[in-house]
Amino acid sequence: MSLHGATGKEASSSSCVGRRSFGAIVLVSMVAFVVALGVGAGIDWFLAAILAVVTVILFVVNTYLVVKWADPKDQAATARLTLLIIVCLTVAEGAILGLPLDVSNNSNSLDCSNEWGDTSECGNMNMLVFWQSMMILIFVLVAFAIPMAIFFYEAYDEVEIGGKRTGTQGAFTTAICYEFVVLAATFTILGLMWAFLGTAQVPVTELTVSITDLAVQATNFSTPTGRQLFVGNSQPLTDDDACLSGCVSSQDSNLEISTSFATYIAAFTGWVGWFVFALFGGVGLAVVPFDLITAYMRRPRLRDAGELARMKQDLQQRTKYLVGLGEDIKKERQEWNSRKHNWRERSKKRAADRTNVNKFKQMVYLLEKDFDEWNISSKNVLDYNPLAPYVSLALGILAAILTLLWFLQLVLYVLVDPPISQFLNLYFMQFDEWFPLFGVLSVAMFSFYLLVCVTFGLFKLGVRCFCVSLHPMEYGKTLVNSFLFNVLWILLCSIPVVQFCTQAFDTYARYTTIGSLLGVQVRYLEFFRYFFEDDVFIYIILVLMGLTFIYLAVYSKDKPPSAQELKGQLRK
């Protein structure tokens, strides 16, 4: 007993020392980071400290979430894949927080963004380098790191299903081949578009001054009669206004700006992400408040013995049927692979097989949800928190308010020229007069909410639409491939979310570097301008949000597809 006690104390002491050492290393690293930014780069000390603290907080929170939500039985959850997921989440969140950082760095002054005049109140951080580095990092993660990890995971998974034990080397080789095709196609398209469409046509107003007219105006203005000329507010002209009464002409024109390859990578990545963001974000703006409030309304309740018995019997029957259906899918695959088929038949079969598997996964997921509800109602779950539905209700009400505010901001400000009201811009800007941090936090909340909408929209389409693969995120049950799948879309949508917020809050972010980068260069790039100038994606978001609200009002509950119908399709 004493030996075991001593061993336990030694292990506890060793663990405590390890945690203290890790904390000390993190603290020293933060101090070194702040000193490097403050002394080496000349960044404001307070801004450098905030940047260091927020980075550490994001990394720690993401690590906690990934570890807690991961399935401990998933053998593919290696340390490298886990670290990749954490880094991707941190980068996506860092990009979202870049907008309030840009606002704070420029201190709402044109002097800061252009480095002229009095810059004593500026953060002195080179935001152009920050944004280009962040967007190139997003591109690398989206085009290389995450697809490579998914290809490796899926290749290894297929090897296991096929019954062949080729090890990780074969899966890695397969992943390299697939990734080479992805990179070749990506850089070919990207290079050709940059070479032929890499210029931005920025609309400007040209002012032309006539030297002859200027001399005439100066002569006329020197006489008492000339001084009786009036401007729009019925005030006599002054010496400074002498040129405004005829010697200046204006006309609309376009200023051609050649973009760098780094900027074009950001534009191309963001343009691709806009399609994903418009689809999943538009659906998610309606789904988030609906699902959270519905979770409260359909919370688990105490049931009598008879009702629990009927639920148990139904669950047993569905489980038995799904087990048999899974065997049929496996058998049908084996029979298909035993015969020879042409390319068109194989392509058609893959599409049908993908749809059938998605239906099967949805049926299994809904069965697990119903089992959890039965388990809670039977009082078999000891760690169930009865306050969880009420928290869901509170979050649902907050989500409904945020969705409504986003809708009003788009209708009153973004899509109307001239805007009816500044709306949220006025709300953010009034904080600058007494406590700017509240404005920064408000912008961060509205921005993060859009990423949450993307996640909910992606999941809802996976449950209701079988052309989208279902990758649920469940506490303690999330597999690595589900993490990678969802993180890929979140990361891809981070640039569109920043551009969307910059456009929606452009008065608040009027002096930011990202405003000139995405709002000028990227917005007016050849080919891309046809999507951005006419706000095509924003209209898609509003239409999808409205259609989703109508659809959920009619079909409010997730229902599994017919198992008999799926079984009949397998026999064809």
Residues 6+ apart with CB under 8 A from 310: none
pLDDT at residue number 172: 82
Dihedral of CA atoms 99, 100, 106, 107 in degrees, nearest 10, equals 160
pLDDT at residue number 350: 76
Calculate the alpha carbon distances from 148 to 111, 166, 472, 510, 567 in Å: 44, 18, 21, 39, 34
Nearest CA to 475 out of 57, 61, 67 is that of 67
**Furthest CA-CA distance within the chain:** 111
pLDDT at residue number 108: 56
Q: Is the CA virtual torsion 105, 109, 113, 116 positive or negative?
A: negative
Nearest CA to 504 out of 535, 475, 482 is that of 535
Report the SS3 class of residue 152.
helix
Distance CA 314, CA 312 (A): 5
Calculate the alpha carbon distances from 226 to 231, 258, 495 in Å: 13, 46, 55
pLDDT along the chain (572 residues), means of 10: 49 56 68 68 76 89 90 79 92 92 73 54 78 93 92 65 56 87 93 92 76 50 44 45 57 84 92 95 95 89 82 87 83 77 76 79 84 80 80 95 96 91 89 78 92 91 73 82 90 95 89 86 91 93 95 84 68 63
Distance CA 43, CA 50 (A): 11
Distance CA 78, CA 484 (A): 13
pLDDT at residue number 440: 82
pLDDT at residue number 417: 85
pLDDT at residue number 229: 41
pTM: 0.83
Residue 274 half-sphere exposure toward CB, CA atoms < 13 A: 22
Are 503 and 515 in contact by the 8 Å Cβ rule? The answer is no
Q: Is 469 buried (19+), middle (13-18) or exposed (0-12) by CB count in 10 A?
A: middle
pLDDT at residue number 224: 47
Listed by start position, the domains of the chain span 211-246
Are 437 and 426 in contact by the 8 Å Cβ rule? The answer is no
Calculate the alpha carbon distances from 386 to 83, 300, 379, 396, 452 in Å: 33, 9, 12, 17, 24
What rounded mean pLDDT belongs to the chain?
80
Residue 547 is inside which H or E element, if any? helix 536-554
